[in-house]
Chains A and B, each alone.
Chain A
Amino acid sequence: MLKISNLHANVEDKAIIKGLNLAVNPGEVHAIMGPNGAGKSTLGYVLSGRDGYEVSGGEVTMNGKDLLDMDVEVRAREGLFLAFQYPVEIPGVSNMEFMKESVNAIREERGESPLTAAEFLKKAKEACKQVQLPLDFLKRGVNEGFSGGEKKRNEIMQMILLEPSLCILDESDSGLDVDALQVVADGVNSQRDGKRSFIVVTHYQRLLDYIKPDFVHILADGKIVKSGDASLALEVEKSGYAFLGKQYEEAEA
């Protein structure tokens, strides 16, 4: 599915990712945890192809294809989905129009005919219900005036509609109360079908109580420094990142 080998990436000439390796197989859920500044969000941006996130070394393949060579929209059509930590507000473009465009762009890539307005509306209503957003959110500007939790649920709704093969959730739990967290986690779990893979980036172990990871990786100073199963997350929860020692202190500084 996804193979990251010795990835190096810079932001404004500052090295952030410094030799990261990760392999994700179909159906697996990988959690990436780590202290602030470790490069967790940067990883999502680099994989999705954001401008200004410059890859200086290494390679990334998705389904055997060179991911880094693709434009942002092509990566999305190949099945990569990034749920943003801070979803973008776009006044003037309705949530409905936005999602219909994107669903149809991805259907076109798969050789499927575009959904009619009625077909799309039906799907969108179902997805809306699933993430417990009122239907009028479809008519509002994209994320415009949404609360933090509503924005996160809107991201999950997009994920449900786009049916990606690899989902990267960038701190989808931040700023959520327990109920909202449950909704987000239910949304994600509903999409686990043994083939779809997830990279769950989180600062806290809490989300992993709801989304059970197959693997947990600790990202510090641009590298994965420790990998394990779900119990690693509990260890972090209990004793923090102190075990990273000096390396962690550098990252914090």
Chain B
Amino acid sequence: MSQWLEQVIDNAQNVSDFLSPARDAALSELKLQGWPGRRTESWRFTPLSSVEKRVVVENKDVTTASAPVIENLEVIDIVFSNGQLITDTASLALPKGVSICQFKDADADQQAAISSLYGKVKPQKHTFGLVNDALAENGVFIDVAAGASIEPVMRISNLSSQPCDAHTRLIVRLGDGARATVMEFGEGSCESLTTAFAEYSIGYKAHLEHYRFAMFTGKAKQVGGSHFKLSELASLNSTLVGYGSELSRLDVDIWHAGEFANAKMNAIYLLAENELFDLHSCIEHAVPNGTTEENARGIIGDGAKAVFNGRIHIHRDAQKTLAELNNRNLLLSRRGIINTKPELEIYADDVKCAHGATVAEIDDTALYYLLTRGISRSRALVMLNFGFVQELVAQIPKTAIADWLLPKLSKRFAEMEVK
């Protein structure tokens, strides 16, 4: 057992609210599972040594912070700063059809709704998810009524500026036929540890447009997850962007619980020198006639390490499933590492599935050719190697988000050194 986890378990005794039954269950599970080591398959390539001996630093202070402005985009902002919710959710101006409350303010109906989803969409296998179950007092519930179509983007930011532990939670429910866009955004570079987990229940024929931008860098450690349950004919369009840091890990679970649901997920990771980013995704096709398309593409800088594990699990009854998974990587140096593992586990016999993974290096000859034409090295590298990332940015449904993201990513890429 790790020193940090022992402290976490101690501290969890002090948390008491309407979620206590779920928190207690998570704690028992956590004690049972113990600390994941090198022999734990899901953590094989991502060492947890920096967390293992960490001393828990709790933060109760409220520090102001704001998430970046995205031009030409209407946003409803909810901000956690160093783990504390600093947005007064009660005074948010909201369009008709959506309600947003923090856990502490939830009325009886909202408490019942939160409890029915809390730890129920997210699988029990995620150690840090269980930690979050036990500790996340700061949580927000977004409830989109059946049939409602919410235009503004609801953005939930986790901003860290202090070297503390932060555990925040998001629960989102989309009623039947509802449409909404939710963005999870995270940023920080100090010696913090953030666990931010989100659970989404997407109702019959509902559509969720989802973004998760995990832009923690430097010393900021983050382990988080986004977990989705799709009802019949529901659809999900998700775009993930990950930077690397000392430890940066995202788990995504997509659960096809109703037939004819459609999930599309594009993930981009851009790792600068010596950073680590780990994306584990797991798609559960529990019922027939679901479709999934997942593209994960990354660029890995000198001495950096990326881990991609993409699992598609097609259950025995999930006939007529269509699932595609693709992972492409570019290494900028011989000292960059990618551990990629697409996993298909198929128990049904009438399905169409494809998966692939590629790893490429910089093409020196093409680079030289562009240089001889006076093009700068950084620009040439972007022209040659950024296209496959740009393609995914171009698929982002909201142009304003793509327009904001692309220069950010190309700047980060241009600053990486090729060795």
Contact = CB atoms under 8 A, between A and B. Distances in A.
A142 B376 CA distance: 17
B1 interface: no
Interface in B369-385: 369-377, 379-380, 383-384
B373 A158 contact: yes
Contacts of A93: 383-384, 387
Interface in B330-379: 364-366, 368-377, 379
The prevalent SS among residues of A at the interface is: helix
Contacts of A193: none
A67 B368 CA distance: 17
A77 B374 CA distance: 5
Contacts of B368: 50-51, 72, 88
Interface in A28-85: 48-51, 71-73, 75-77, 81-82, 84
Nearest to A50: B368
Contact of A84 (B364, B369, B384): B369
A95 to B, nearest CB: 12
Interface string B150-180: 0000000000000000000000000000000
A49 B368 CA distance: 9
A73 B374 contact: yes
Contacts of A102: 370, 373-375
Given A90-B366, A93-B384, A101-B379, A71 B371 contact: yes
A98 B366 contact: no
B374 A162 contact: yes
Nearest to B391: A92
A75 B375 CA distance: 11
A130 B388 CA distance: 34
A106 B81 CA distance: 47
A252 interface: no
Contacts of B379: 101, 105
A85 to B, nearest CB: 12
A87 B371 CA distance: 13
A235 interface: no
Contacts of A71: 371, 377
A76 B364 CA distance: 17
A97 interface: yes
Interface in B382-404: 383-384, 387-388
Contacts of B377: 71, 73
A243 B276 CA distance: 64
A158 B384 CA distance: 18
Contacts of B384: 90, 92-93
Q: Is the interface of B mostly helix, strand, loop or mixed?
A: helix
Contacts of A72: 368, 371-372
A109 interface: yes
B373 A90 contact: no
A81 B380 CA distance: 17
Contacts of B372: 48, 72-73, 75-76, 81-82
Interface residues of B, number: 19
Contacts of A162: 373-374
A50 B372 CA distance: 9
Given A93-B383, A97-B383, A73 B366 contact: no
A250 B153 CA distance: 74
B297 to A, nearest CB: 13
B103 to A, nearest CB: 48
A69 to B, nearest CB: 16
Given A73-B374, A77-B374, A101 B369 contact: no
Given A51-B364, A88-B365, A98 B370 contact: yes
B93 to A, nearest CB: 41
A158 B375 CA distance: 13
Interface string A146-159: 00000000000010
B251 to A, nearest CB: 32
Nearest to B385: A92
A102 B387 CA distance: 18
Contacts of A106: 374
Contacts of B375: 73, 98, 101-102, 105
Contacts of A101: 370, 373, 375, 379, 383
Contacts of A87: 369
A112 to B, nearest CB: 13
A92 B365 contact: no
Nearest to A108: B374
Given A92-B387, A93-B384, A93-B387, A76 B369 contact: no
A241 to B, nearest CB: 29
B197 to A, nearest CB: 37
Contacts of A50: 368
B369 A90 contact: yes
A102 B374 CA distance: 6
A228 B368 CA distance: 33
Given A93-B387, A97-B383, A109 B371 contact: no
A214 B416 CA distance: 47
Nearest to B366: A90
Nearest to A82: B372
Contacts of A92: 384, 387-388
A162 B375 CA distance: 12
23 contacts: A51-B368, A71-B377, A72-B371, A73-B371, A73-B375, A75-B372, A76-B371, A76-B373, A76-B374, A77-B374, A87-B369, A90-B366, A92-B387, A92-B388, A93-B387, A101-B373, A101-B379, A102-B375, A105-B373, A105-B375, A105-B376, A162-B373, A162-B374
Given A76-B373, A81-B372, A105-B376, 7 more contacts: A51-B368, A90-B370, A92-B387, A98-B383, A101-B375, A105-B373, A162-B373
Q: Please name the 8 residue pairs, one residue from A and one from B, whose CB atoms are nearest each other, closest first.
A: A102-B373, A76-B374, A72-B371, A88-B369, A105-B374, A106-B374, A73-B371, A92-B387
